[in-house]
Amino acid sequence: MRRKDRELSDKADLEDIIKQADVCRIAFFSEKAPYIVPLNFGYAWNETLKFYFHCASTGRKLELLKTNNVVGFEIDIKHELLTGDVACDWGMKYRSVIGNGKISELADEEDKARGLDLIMKHFGYDGSPSYSKQMLGAVKVLCLEVDEITGKAKL
């Protein structure tokens, strides 16, 4: 990272950003150009950080996943415009995490339900959600196991 004065490396700082965010952008590899999609998410960070996403049963991201399951991700929060008397004094406050890892589709119904539970929990649901067999069969749940993560902030 070029700006070491803005680097965040403490797990608590990185997780604080993740906790506050409502969108994670995933960059899939495509032959023409990267394909970036914003997704709602849930996560678990035990020994490794794992993000969970849900999506329809067909679509471009699932097609790209079949050819390359290595993806990049980005999350950012706390945007605030900084102004000044001259153009070079302008800027933006922010906090962000970026990284990469391998994403896969969860096939097991229990794993899918657990991923969906984490998504619901991330958005504030504190009950015990239930999912019908039909719904679990219709929805795709993806799990991104993070290999690398870095954080950055301008406060």
- Tell me if 61 is assigned to some domain: yes
DSSP structure class, residue 6: G
Q: Which domain holds residue 73?
A: 4-148
DSSP structure class, residue 112: H
Domain count, the chain: 1
- 105 DSSP β-pair partners: 142
Query: In angstroms, rounded to a whole number, what is the distance separating the alpha carbons of residues 23 and 48?
Result: 20
- Tell me if 117 is assigned to some domain: yes
Kindly report the CATH number assigned to the domain that includes residue 93.
Answer: 2.30.110.10
- What pTM was estimated for this model as a whole? 0.92
Query: In angstroms, rounded to a whole number, what is the distance separating the alpha carbons of residues 78 and 53?
Result: 22
| Distance in angstroms between the alpha carbons of the first and the last residue of the chain | 17
- Tell me if 155 is assigned to some domain: no
Residue by residue, pLDDT tens for the chain (155 residues) are 677 677 788 999 999 999 999 999 999 999 899 999 999 999 999 999 999 999 999 999 999 999 999 999 999 999 889 899 999 989 889 999 999 999 999 999 999 999 999 999 999 999 888 999 999 999 999 999 999 999 999 98
